[in-house]
């Protein structure tokens, strides 16, 4: 029963033989394994994706954006970056967009320096980490500091898989596997599984952006069709190492990377990739929405105009942009159309007089203004009569295009 | 490399030729084929079809052009002809997209001026040209006739036909041998319908480029991205009415809040980054032409597209200094695999 509902794991059943376990496992498990990186509030899950194209269903788990520090750096420099990763928040469309964690690169050749660098990171924040050291002895130094916080271990290769697997198992950490020829990844995965490590992430070690997107697409296709179950793991991309970080970030976000390592991004880049990630990982059936309610532009008073609109974020921000440009203080009343745009909401019946009347009451709009005039979107014109009747407010039909709202208000708003 | 994709498509994107060289009856230094793919964008080594192109957008009336661009160009902005020539020389876009924004003035009637502008751009810039004519049905027929005639023989790409207004543009394209941009609002069925309408008017499929309407990053881009992917996959599955190459120009990108309200110190960089992210994502979704307005976005985008393309296939004709540069970048990655010396 647990298996059928996806809660149990066949590997834990003591009664099944290998063959039965394989059959059961492959039909009940999601085609891409869910792997968790880090512990606590900022930990994040990756994997468990079902489709190649977001329009087929949705993409579920946005990639972790891990900012790199080096064990060649001073403690201050490391901690400055870590604090930035900890504190950066971009509020977009009502949600907090954040960087995901820190990747610590071993470049010094000195295992003790790696340990010190990991300690420096730990002092500042409880962020998910990627420990990047190819030498297991160095990795052990890092794990001694943060191993119990489920860092992602980078990486087991065909040469180091035995010792890296021992470390991953002992500490219960997820492990990146990396093969110079991605064709050998399935073998390497099986070897790691044989050594008791299930939480794996694949680094295709692609020599170019072109190769990365080819291999990553191949992995996604073979995983979701279950034609190569050993490829059913999230994918890793060291975007900074490509020498074209921005292009690699775009490609990674669009082409199935689940963990991206980048060098300290500037503000422009950060805004752009957090937004792209949010866009691509939005459920196509469930658009990003505003919380319904009253929004103020400037400091409106009892005489200020009141504009009705829907809670589709795109509509809200478009209208808000033009209203700001118009510099006329006003109230925006956002009603809950379940994230549909004006036309779509009118066409589907979600925007209707009952919803408008009830919303005006619920938000106590009559306490905000002395007048009883409501400007509705031009595309909602067919509803104007019915809204007047149901709400008792006088309805003014605004322009269709929000770009004309400034001109409209100047001409028509004479209270 | 030992991992193969599983795509097994039956369809193919059609090709459209843009620009005509002297030997082809025009005066361009180069002509491009776009489209022709048998797979998803950039898949396969070498990828199928033709490498996506980067178009640089200019206009003939700057009053509605993004402030961030006007600020960047300042005194570098000249008449459209000189603008096109200088931008072409300096930033090396694959082609130019001229917006005749002057036609958006109220009661516009100066069709002779438009004709002169088009002629001037064609004289000064040797690159293939996309022209965005009027957006008003009342003057469509004069505007498109003027553009079409001025560029006769040059295999222009004329925009934009929409469901309610496509006859004038189709007529101009047919009379003077140009291709047409067919724009529909983020809807695969509407895109298909418009293509059928255009074909019924006599525009052959190898002269139609789909514009599925590209929303700005953060402002509906996800719908545009998915509709492009859906158009591409439907075409590859054999739907001939959608098997035209796609053009994507996120015209609103430089007026979104993030760009408008960016700190003055970084606003240029935000503009470039925002455009770059939108345009490269569109290319990955299947666009054959991506259009940008900030000149500094052009080289970044060309490098990224080259890196995604794999440097395996030369672009038809020349692409200035970009190819050697890209080889350098990709080699660098090979060399830099493994521990990366973090700079500074
Ligand atoms: C994307 C889209 C969808 C998405 C949904 C997106 C969303 N979150 O709403 C999906 C694919 C889900 C969808 C579904 C449907 N859609 Co639809 N969709 C569109 C599309 C392509 C774009 C809509 C959009 O995002 N516009 C951008 C936003 C910002 O526009 P907006 O909300 O109207 O806001 C503008 C103005 O209204 C104004 N404004 C907004 N608020 C205010 C307030 C005031 C006071 C003022 C003055 C102005 C103002 O400012 C904004 C900018 O100018 C349009 C075609 C088009 N281009 O319009 C069709 C369209 C709206 N859809 C349509 C239809 C019929 C539907 C469906 C009923 C059936 C269908 N075709 O699938 C369903 C209904 C959904 C449901 N659940 O039942 C029709 C509507 C027909 C009509 N005239 O009534 C359209 C016009 C397409 C068409 N021509 O057939 N749709
Ligand atoms: S036999 Fe195995 S799978 Fe079945 S209920 Fe028992 S433990 Fe679970």
Ligand 2 centroid to Cα of residue A193, in Å, is 21
Quick check: B272 pLDDT over 90?
Answer: yes
**Chain A to chain B, count of Cβ pairs less than 8 Å apart?**
196
Residue A205 and residue A276 share a domain: yes
**B274 vs A285, which has greater pLDDT?**
B274
Is 90 exceeded by the pLDDT of residue B292?
yes
Q: How many whole angstroms from its chain centre is CA B148?
A: 19
Structure confidence at residue B341 (pLDDT): 36
Say yes or no: A222 and A267 in one domain.
yes
Residue in A217, A243, A276 closest to B336 by CB: A243
Q: What domains are there in chain B, each with its CATH number? A: 16-337 (3.20.20.20)
Q: pLDDT, tens digit, for every residue of B198-250?
A: 999 999 999 999 999 998 998 889 999 999 999 999 999 999 999 999 999 98
Average pLDDT, integer, range B32-61: 96
Verify cis geometry, omega within 30 degrees of 0, for the bond prior to B160.
yes
Among A247, A280, A313, identify where a domain stops: A280
Pocket test for ligand 2, best of A16, A17, A24, A29 (most atoms within 8 A of CB): A16
- Residue A27's pLDDT is 65
Tokens for A308, please give them.
């009705």
Q: Do residue B330 and residue A247 have CB atoms under 8 angstroms apart? A: no
User: Are A235 and A353 contained in the same domain?
Assistant: no
**Would the CB atoms of B308 and A210 count as touching at under 8 Å?**
yes
Number of separate helices (H) and strands (E) present in chain A: 14, 17
Q: For A157-166, what is the mean pLDDT?
A: 97
Does residue A55 contact residue A99 with C-beta atoms inside 8 Å? no
Is residue A69 classed as helix, strand or coil in its secondary structure? strand
The CATH number of whichever domain residue A104 belongs to comes to 3.20.20.20
Residue B7: closest CA among chain A residues belongs to which residue? Answer: A221
What is the dihedral angle through the alpha carbons of B296, B298, B301, B305, rounded to the nearest 10 degrees? -160
Report if residue A376 sits inside a domain: yes
- CATH of residue A331: 3.40.50.11600
Domain C-terminal end among A280, A315, A335: A280
Which tens digits make up the pLDDT trace of B240-252? 999 999 999 988 8
pLDDT tens column, A330-345: 999 999 999 899 998 9
Measured CA distances, A405 to A102, A142, A415 (Å): 45, 58, 17
Clarify whether residues A89 and A202 are in a common domain: yes
Q: Report the 10 Å Cβ neighbour count for A3.
A: 15
Look at residue A12 and tell me whether its pLDDT is greater than 70. no
Is the Cβ of A95 closer than 8 Å to some Cβ of chain B? no
pLDDT band of residue B339 (cuts 50, 70, 90) is very low
Say whether both A303 and A265 belong to one domain: no
The beta-strand segments (E) located in A22-76 are: 35-37, 44-46, 64-70
How far apart are the CA of A6 and the centre of ligand 2, in A?
Answer: 13
Is pLDDT above 60 for A208?
A: yes
Domain for residue A14, yes or no?
no
Residue position matching structure tokens 């001694």: A144
Whether A217 contacts chain B with CB within 8 A: yes
Which residues from chain A sit within 8 angstroms of residue B7, using beta carbons?
221
Confirm whether A18 is domain-assigned.
no
Handedness of CA A267, A270, A274, A277 (dihedral sign): positive
Looking at the predicted complex, does its ipTM rise above 0.85?
Answer: yes
In this predicted structure, what is the pLDDT of residue A350?
95
Examine the domain organization and report whether A345 and A197 are in the same domain: no
Residue A19 is assigned to a structural domain of this protein = no
pLDDT of residue B256: 86
A168 and A250 housed in the same domain: yes
Contact A101, A130 (CB under 8 A): yes
pLDDT over threshold 80, residue B278: yes
For residue A311, the SS3 value is coil
Residues of A in contact with B296 (CB under 8 A): none
* Rounded-to-integer distance, Cα A110 and Cα A410, Å: 69
pTM here?
0.86
Q: How far is the CA of A348 from the centre of ligand 1 (A)?
A: 10
Contacts of B336 in chain A (CB under 8 A): 241, 243
Q: A249 and A384: one domain?
A: no
Shortest CB distance from B280 goes to which of A210, A250, A267? A250
- Rounded to an integer, the average pLDDT of A158-185 is 96
Number of domains in chain A: 2
pLDDT for the residue A314? 81
Same domain, A274 and A327: no
Spatial contact of B254 and B65, defined as CB atoms under 8 Å apart: no
- Say if the Cβ atoms of B3 and A222 lie within 8 Å: yes
- Considering the domain architecture, whether residues A257 and A325 belong to the same structural domain is answered as no
A contact residues 305-334, partner B, Cβ 8 Å cutoff = 314, 317-318, 321
Is A377 inside a domain boundary?
yes
Determine the structural domain holding residue A111 and report its residue range.
29-280
CA distance B295 to B69: 9
Q: What is the pLDDT of residue B326?
A: 33
Average pLDDT (B308-319) is 54
Residues A328 and A370 in one domain: yes
A177: pLDDT strictly greater than 50: yes
Last residue of a domain, one of A280, A312, A337: A280
Residue A3's pLDDT is: 55
User: Could you read off the pLDDT of A135-155 as tens digits, one per residue?
Assistant: 999 999 999 999 999 999 999
Q: Residues B209, B181: contact at Cβ < 8 Å?
A: yes
The residue whose C-alpha atom lies closest to atom 81 belonging to ligand 1 is: A347
* Same domain membership, residue A264 and residue A167: yes
């Amino acid at each position: 029963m647990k298996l059928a509902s996806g809660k149990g794991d066949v590997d834990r059943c003591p009664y099944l033989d290998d063959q039965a376990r394989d059959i059961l496992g492959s039909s009940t498990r999601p085609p891409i394994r869910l792997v968790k990186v880090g512990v606590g509030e900022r930990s994040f899950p990756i994997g468990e994706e079902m489709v190649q194209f977001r329009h087929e269903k949705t993409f579920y788990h946005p990639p972790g954006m891990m900012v790199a520090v080096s064990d060649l750096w001073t403690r201050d420099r490391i901690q400055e970056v870590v604090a930035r990763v900890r504190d950066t928040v971009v509020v977009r469309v009502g949600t907090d967009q954040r960087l995901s964690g820190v990747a610590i690169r071993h470049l010094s050749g000195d295992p003790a320096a790696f340990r010190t660098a990991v300690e420096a990171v730990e002092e500042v924040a409880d962020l998910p980490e990627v420990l990047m050291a190819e030498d297991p002895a160095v990795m052990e130094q890092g794990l001694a500091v943060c191993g119990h916080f489920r860092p992602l271990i980078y990486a087991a290769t065909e040469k180091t898989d035995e010792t890296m697997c021992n470390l991953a198992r002992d500490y219960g950490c997820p492990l990146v596997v990396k093969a110079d020829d991605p064709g050998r990844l399935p073998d390497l995965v099986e070897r790691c599984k044989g050594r008791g490590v299930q939480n794996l992430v694949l680094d295709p070690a692609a020599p170019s952006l072109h190769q990365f997107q080819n291999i990553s697409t191949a992995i996604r296709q073979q995983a979701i069709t279950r034609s190569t179950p050993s490829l059913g793991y999230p994918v890793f991309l060291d975007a900074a190492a490509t020498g074209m970080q921005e292009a690699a970030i775009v490609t990674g976000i669009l082409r199935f990377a689940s963990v991206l390592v980048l060098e300290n991004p500037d503000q422009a880049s950060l805004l752009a990739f957090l937004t792209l990630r949010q866009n691509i990982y939005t459920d196509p059936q469930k658009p990003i929405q505003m919380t319904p309610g009253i929004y103020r532009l400037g400091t409106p008073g009892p005489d200020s105009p009141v504009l009705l609109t829907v809670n589709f974020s795109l509509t809200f921000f478009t209208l808000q942009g033009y209203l700001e440009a118009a510099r006329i203080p006003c109230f925006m009343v956002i009603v809950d159309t379940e994230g549909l745009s004006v036309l779509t909401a009118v066409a589907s019946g979600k925007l209707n007089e009952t919803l408008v009347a009830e919303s005006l009451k619920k938000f106590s709009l009559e306490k905000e203004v002395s007048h009883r005039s409501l400007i509705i979107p031009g595309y909602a014109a067919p509803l104007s009569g019915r809204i007047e009747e149901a709400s008792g407010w006088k309805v003014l039909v605004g322009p269709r295009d929000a770009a004309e709202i400034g001109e409209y208000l100047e001409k028509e708003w004479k209270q | 490399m030992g991992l193969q994709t599983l795509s097994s498509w039956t369809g193919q994107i059609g090709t459209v030729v843009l620009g005509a060289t002297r030997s082809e009856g025009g005066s361009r230094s180069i002509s491009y084929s776009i489209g022709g793919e048998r797979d998803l964008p950039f898949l396969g080594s070498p990828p199928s079809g033709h490498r996506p192109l980067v178009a640089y957008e200019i206009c003939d009336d700057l009053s509605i052009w993004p402030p961030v661009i006007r600020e960047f160009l300042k005194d570098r902005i000249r008449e459209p002809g000189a603008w096109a020539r200088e931008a072409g020389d300096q930033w090396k876009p694959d082609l130019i997209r001229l917006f005749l924004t002057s036609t958006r003035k109220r009661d516009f009637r100066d069709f002779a001026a438009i004709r002169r502008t088009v002629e001037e751009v064609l004289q000064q810039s040797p690159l293939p040209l996309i022209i965005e004519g009027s957006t008003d049905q009342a003057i469509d027929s004069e505007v498109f006739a003027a553009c079409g005639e001025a560029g006769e023989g040059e295999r222009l790409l004329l925009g934009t036909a929409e469901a309610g207004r496509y006859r004038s543009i189709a007529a101009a394209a047919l009379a003077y041998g140009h291709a047409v941009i067919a724009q529909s609002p983020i809807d695969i069925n509407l895109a298909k319908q418009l293509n059928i309408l255009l074909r019924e008017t006599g525009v052959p499929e190898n002269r139609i480029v789909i514009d599925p309407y590209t929303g700005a990053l953060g402002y509906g881009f996800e719908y545009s991205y998915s509709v492009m992917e859906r158009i591409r996959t439907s075409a590859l599955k054999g739907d001939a009415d959608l098997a035209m190459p796609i053009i994507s120009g996120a015209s609103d990108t430089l007026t979104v809040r993030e760009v408008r309200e960016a700190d003055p110190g970084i606003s240029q960089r935000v503009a470039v980054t925002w455009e770059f992210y939108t345009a490269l994502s569109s290319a990955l979704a299947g666009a054959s032409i991506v259009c940008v307005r900030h000149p500094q976005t052009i080289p970044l985008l060309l490098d990224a597209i080259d890196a995604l393309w794999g440097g395996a296939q030369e672009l038809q004709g020349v692409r200035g200094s970009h190819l050697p540069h890209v080889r350098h970048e990709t080699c660098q990655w090979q060399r830099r695999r493994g521990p990366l010396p973090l700079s500074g």
